[in-house]
Structure 1
């Protein structure tokens, strides 16, 4: 099953995708449900329903119906996968690098890219649940996305790629001009 993290994304017309991306999302959802029954693919921002090239603030590239942001998968205090998310917007609650992991966030901020962790101000409030980033749940979700032939690029932070032991030519770093991708997954056709 696929669902919006918040009705806000539907009301604000931030949920439009091309038929090809919709098909990919359906297949990803079905595959995820087979591996983790009941866990939903939760989307955040997609695109506006206007002409190709219309910008979707604050995103740099969500302008053609071929891009979507998905929420990570979390587990509760009992280590069970849940459909709950740590922020009201789905953005801004970061999965920080561990001490032994490469810290791309620090590198980008030290290079003067002040906007890199700006999403921390876009949470619309944090929820009180004890949620933990699920390495296995997110690894499964990302592997399912990467298996889609139509998917061309997937963006997450380098430390999460390492933590989940993922290697794939479609899995990339998005650059310092964008915002952090350790609070969501971005993929595009």
Structure 2
């Protein structure tokens, strides 16, 4: 679907970064599943819903999921890969609620972009998603990684590249955004 919608364009540098990421993950069972890159209309022109995906240097990746028996899969929980959130559990920072309570209605907007839920029996893979983020961190070209604070804490991730994107954006507990 990403290709059909013409949203798969990245810069040569981002393509090289993806190849490096793929190499880092080659000895694991994790397959990179990108969701949205850039629309090649005019450099600097974003295509909704992503206002920042406007230069080929930003990419959204699917979280990593596993089957009920623990097998890592490259399937998603929605047709688009967006909108099925890994919600906050007790004791975690509830940033989505803080943003929504603060009037940032667009924060959970991706729930309208699922194009339908599928694979309802999949579970969020903490181990697989952590491996994916750690592999992203290892890529020297990667400057920023956006993932929701509760997932950052749950996955025990700590690196200056991992940042909070703010309430003016959309939540990042259904996908990972990174940029070079």
What TM-score bracket applies, with the shorter chain setting the length? over 0.9
- Matching residue of 1:140: 131
CA RMSD of aligned residues (A): 0.9
Partners in 2 of 1:149 and 1:128 — Cα distance? 34
In structure 2, what is the equivalent of residue 3 of structure 1? none
Number of equivalent positions: 180
TM-score normalised per structure 2:
0.97
Mapping for residues 55-66 of structure 1, pairs under 5 Å: 55-66=46-57
Question: Which residue number corresponds to residue 21 of structure 2?
Answer: 28
Give SS of 1:53's match: coil
Is 2:168 aligned against 1:156?
no
Query: How many Å apart are 1:135 and its aligned residue?
Result: 0.6
How far the C-alpha of 1:11 sits from its partner, in A, is 1.0
- Compared CA separation, residues 78 and 60, structure 1 to 2 (3 A): same
Question: 3-state SS of the aligned residue for 1:69?
Answer: strand
Structure 2 partner of 1:4 = none
Instruction: Give 1:33 shift.
Output: 2.2
SS of the residue corresponding to residue 85 of structure 2 reads coil
Displacement after TM superposition at 1:30 (Å) = 1.8
Q: Separation in 1 of the partners of 2:5 and 2:74?
A: 22
Q: Does the residue aligned with 1:58 lie in a helix, a strand or coil?
A: coil
Q: Within 2, Cα distance between the matches of 1:170 and 1:85?
A: 25
1:63-111, Cα deviation, whole Å (9 max, x unpaired): 0000000001101000111111110000000000111100000000010
Query: Separation in 1 of the partners of 2:55 and 2:39?
Result: 8
In structure 2, the residue matched to 1:10 is 3
SS in 1 for 2:55: coil
| The 10-residue stretch of structure 1 (125-134 or 177-186) with the greater mean CA deviation from structure 2 | 125-134
2:68 is the alignment partner of 1:114: no
Give yes or no for contact 2:33–2:62 (8 Å, CA) kept in 1.
yes
Are residues 1:184 and 2:175 paired? yes
Q: Distance in 2 between matches of 1:128 and 1:29?
A: 24
Aligned partner (choices 77, 80, 85) of residue 76 of structure 2:
85
Q: List 4+ stretches of structure 1 deviating above 3 A.
A: none
**Offset at residue 50 of structure 1 (A):** 2.5
